[in-house]
Amino acid sequence: MRKALIIFASILFAVVSYGQNTDLTVKGVKSNFNTTFDIKDNVTFRYYYGSAADTVSNNDSLWNYDVAIENLYDALDHELRIKLDSVSGSPAVTVTLQGKYSYNDSYSSLGTATWAGTSSDTTIVITNGTNKNYRFLNILLDGTATAQKSKVNYIEIGVSK
């Protein structure tokens, strides 16, 4: 009887311990994001080179790049620089920088810019200088024209106090 009680207590302890480790911390969900900032290690800047697949075409075509911020202690400013290039047609793209505090929250818009492409590439800058505690950022590109195609050349995203 004593062995059965010890085994039952051990199983109960294991179940309770497992339940404590399934919370949605940034460390626990960072594999769901394209990249991560670790503020504790002074990682406050990321640079991403677009690939051939990083394109937006036609009306309502969406593309996104999301970022998780670990060890967030203070409110931060956010800055996005994205270089887009016209591939075909006359592209029109809305670029939105979004943020959210909790993993299960919906994203809020931190800044938006509209780009009408030509044959030359263009760098778009969106700055959110309101010092917010957003743990998750998302860069959303939304195609707003038909018969178009544009490509992401690169993304620079940074956070600062």
For residue 32, pLDDT beyond 90: no
**Average pLDDT for the chain:** 83
What value does the mean pLDDT take over residues 15-23?
54
* Residue position matching structure tokens 């460390």: 27
Q: What pTM value is reported for the model? A: 0.80
Q: How confident is the model at residue 58 (pLDDT cuts 50, 70, 90)?
A: confident
Domain edges within the chain: 26-160
Token pair belonging to 81? 């620089």
Predicted confidence at residue 131, as pLDDT, reads 83
Bridge-partner residues for 151, per DSSP? 55, 85
Summarize pLDDT for 89-129 with one digit per residue, the tens: 888 899 999 999 988 899 999 999 998 876 566 789 999 88
Give the pairing type, strands 35-38 and 62-70. Answer: parallel
User: Helices marked H in the chain — which ranges?
Assistant: 2-20, 26-29
* Residue position matching structure tokens 């406050």: 44
Assigned fold of 26-160: Jelly Rolls (2.60.120)
Summarize pLDDT for 139-154 with one digit per residue, the tens: 999 988 788 888 999 9
* CB-based contacts of 146, cutoff 8 Å, min separation 6: 58, 59
Distance between start and end Cα atoms, the chain: 60
